[in-house]
Amino acid sequence: MKKNNKRILISILFLLITTIIAYFGKMNKLGFYSDDWYLLYGGVNFGAIRYFDMFSIDRPFRGFLQSLLFNLFDINITYYYLLAILVRFAGALSLFWLMLILWKDKILSATIVAVIFIIYPGFLEQPNAMDYMAHQIALTCMILSIVFSIKYFNRNFYLKSFYFVLSTIFALICYFLMEYFIAMEGYRFLFIFFYLWDKKDDQIAKKLFRILLSIIPFLIAPAIFAYWRLFIFTSTRVTTSVELLLSNFSESIILSIITVLKRFTADLVETFIGAYTTPISLLIPKLGGKEFIAAILLGLASVCCFLIYLKIVYNSKDGDIIENSGKKSLTFALLAFLGASVCLFSVNLVERDVSYLFFNRFSFPSALGVSIFIVGFVSLISNKKIQVLFFSAIIFISVMTQFSNNVRFADEWALTQKFWQNFIWRTPNLMNGTTLVGLRSSPIYEGYYIWSPANLIYRATPSQRITISAEVLNNGIVKDIEMKAPYEKELRSLKIEHDYNKTLVFTLPTEKSCLRIIDNQQIELSIFDDELIQLASPYSSIDLITSDNAINYEAFTRLFRTAVSEDNWCYYYEQASLARQFGEWEKVKEIGTLVESKNLHPSDNIELMPFIQAYAYAGEIDKADELIDKLIQIPFYQKQACDIFTAKTDDDKENFKNGNELLKKAFCNSD
């Protein structure tokens, strides 16, 4: 017994070390992402209590969780991330416990299942800790619920009652946080079936009846939740409504079933195989040289830990690495596969599917089944060395994927920081009603990626109505902008006013570019700009930027933590662009002289335009010509500049007339 306790402690230490190797890389470089932004707007402006309103439309209990977390951590993302790792680790320990019960203290097999689970590369939202905390806690609670439901089969009445209550409570917490995790009940019933099947009965029919009878008490928790969801609570969010599920089968049941089955088959492949091939193939090519080496070293370190762990714990007398008999392991693996399939099928019913990298979260409940299935599958291999090699490869790929994924999130956060640093350099204030649209090098999937930080930075006084709005730039939005049709909408209790008469278009097309705010009176497009920017440019009113400084620098520092150095090209470009907007040409010229003395240069020569104009209007022809020679190296920029200065014919001041004429000749008559 003492020997087993020692092996268990060593196994837990191995799980902890692997977790640290997989998830602590780039931890201090992570920030806020996607849905974090509306959570931040609600919490920072109105306090933690606002989350009850925000989640009342679909998952009210999540409002309680988010409120609790915000009261504890405020907007310190590091604490959220550490807690998310701790919860993930707790989930792995719970699975380890479950496997020890079901596999009769087969410690090595249970540990391998737990380690595959904790670094499963199909779930890539670990760095998105604030928004995905509910997923992590729900999954851990469900695993604990299953553990206690197995422990329930105890002869002591008081212990049975205690375990049943715990199982029910943890199950309900899971459902109320993530309603679609209710499909994980499939694991419970299959595992109970596996656990009780070993009990000796003469007749199979009698055994089946006893098992089915034993399962009945555990129907109480899902029944309570189903009653609440169907008859008490009404979801007003389309993707979580029962009506959506029913409407999917309202027109053609046969066609709907075929569609679901096609999606289900694809998701099985993605979850069990694609998780170990697709994410890593997408992430590795984007790593820099140092990061690629770091990923390999971390993967090798995790494999070394595994081999050392085997050296300590593995008993050669046991034969194969997997301690269970092949038949029994395979049976359990098939049950786990079935449980994972149930989880996927429930997602497919509401027209969601697993895809990497974006919709990876739907594979998370199935990670439990994937981990068990892999170990069961390997149990069929009789060669110990092949077993070790297989598990080593799984661990290596998983750790490399998770580190590479952390790099991806860290890079996205750095780009977000850069965008907003550029934005406050360029924009002292915005008029109420401004609608921001545009594209940047980091993705914008929802309007609140922009309007939330914009309002937090520029509007110190909280408002129930979002006064600076934003929308995702796409073909549909371009048409709405052309129509100039104002409209209102509500997002999780937050009211947003869009006024396309007040559209402001921004663009930051590459990681090396600077932010450019488009002026429809002098449209300057980059060769790197998306076609959508060109389509929206004629409607961008730069007058929506005002000179009175409304930037809340304290809010900016709290949100983004570190600022990009001001001693770089983009800082001076943004300042020059702002000065040009208000006709401060002497200031633009001074900035030009300063960047020349610092030997700073743009990565995109379209950013030279403010300085070219300033030198031309000041009559400093040589300096203007020097920059013009750089710009006309790209024919698109030469043609664009020719069109711009040909159109400038209404300036009354002599220096502007002469400057524009000079620029017109330089760009239009250049060879």
In tens, the pLDDT along 566-614 reads: 789 999 999 999 999 999 999 999 999 999 999 999 999 999 999 999 9
- The 10s digit of each residue's pLDDT in 172-206 is 999 999 999 999 999 999 999 988 876 655 567 77
Instruction: Enumerate helices (H) and strands (E) in the chain, giving the number of each.
Output: 28, 9
Average pLDDT of 351-364? Answer: 87
Mean pLDDT lowest for which of 107-116, 268-277, 479-488?
479-488
Share of the chain above pLDDT 70, in %: 93
Band (pLDDT 50/70/90 cuts) for residue 399 is very high
Which tokens go with 323? 């301690």
Report pLDDT for 496: 85
Average pLDDT of 58-76? Answer: 94
Distance of CA 282 to the CA centre of its chain: 15
* CA angle, 411 then 414 then 416, to 5°: 110
Q: Are 92 and 82 in contact (CB under 8 A)?
A: no
Mean pLDDT lowest for which of 15-19, 80-84, 500-504?
500-504
Q: Has this prediction a pTM greater than 0.85?
A: yes
Q: Which has more pLDDT, 105 or 439?
A: 439
301 closest CA partner among 390, 194, 225, 396: 396
Band (pLDDT 50/70/90 cuts) for residue 221 is very high
Report pLDDT for 238: 55
Q: Which has more pLDDT, 651 or 220?
A: 220
Band (pLDDT 50/70/90 cuts) for residue 318 is low
Report pLDDT for 651: 64
The C-alpha torsion from 6 through 9 and 11 to 14, rounded to 10°, is -130
Q: What are the E-state strand segments in 433-521?
A: 435-440, 465-466, 469-470, 487-491, 494-498, 503-508, 516-517
For the chain, the domains span 2-32+75-409, 565-671
Q: How many residues are recorded in the chain?
A: 671
Report pLDDT for 669: 79
pLDDT above 60: residue 245: no
Q: Are 136 and 88 in contact (CB under 8 A)?
A: yes
